Amino acid sequence: MLKRVILDKRGYMREVIAEIEAWRKEGKRVAIATNVKKDGASLRPLGAKMAMTTAQPRAGTGTTPKIAGSVTGGCIEGVVYEEAQAVIKSGTP
């Protein structure tokens, strides 16, 4: 069972904890990204979280990602997701 830990007072872990728990119950591996540096304008503040699990097969369209939360609000989410997939696959952060 995933330990319920709130990592900061702003509640960014709360945004993704339900999805993480559900994925773990399904036996899925999960990666969590955290916004630790902000350069220029960003829609998401420091500490924002994005949780991901492996892409799921989807009929006729390849795969669809399982994602909860956001670290940037859009512009580099795809890169974060790809890095997370590599971490999940290798088991090494």
Q: Which residue has the higher pLDDT, 4 or 87?
A: 87
Residue 91 region by backbone torsions, left for phi larger than 0, else alpha for psi between -120 and 50, else beta: left
> Does residue 66 form part of some domain?
yes
- Answer yes or no: is pLDDT of 8 > 80: no
Give pLDDT, residue 61. Answer: 60
Q: What is the extent of the structural domain holding 75? A: 17-90
> Does residue 51 form part of some domain?
yes
Confidence of residue 31 (pLDDT cuts 50, 70, 90): very high
pTM greater than the 0.75 cutoff: no
> Does residue 10 form part of some domain?
no
Q: Which residues pair with 53 in a beta bridge?
A: 30, 66
Report the number of distinct structural domains present in the chain.
1
> Does residue 76 form part of some domain?
yes
> Does residue 78 form part of some domain?
yes
pLDDT digits (tens, 9 = 90+) for 42-66: 677 778 888 998 866 666 666 666 8
- Give the integer Cα–Cα distance in Å for 24 and 4: 13
> Does residue 1 form part of some domain?
no
Q: Which residues pair with 33 in a beta bridge?
A: 50
Mean pLDDT taken over the chain:
77
The helices-and-strands tally (H runs, E runs) of the chain is: 2, 3
Q: Which residue has the higher pLDDT, 20 or 55?
A: 20
For 49, the enclosing helix (H) or strand (E) is: strand 49-58
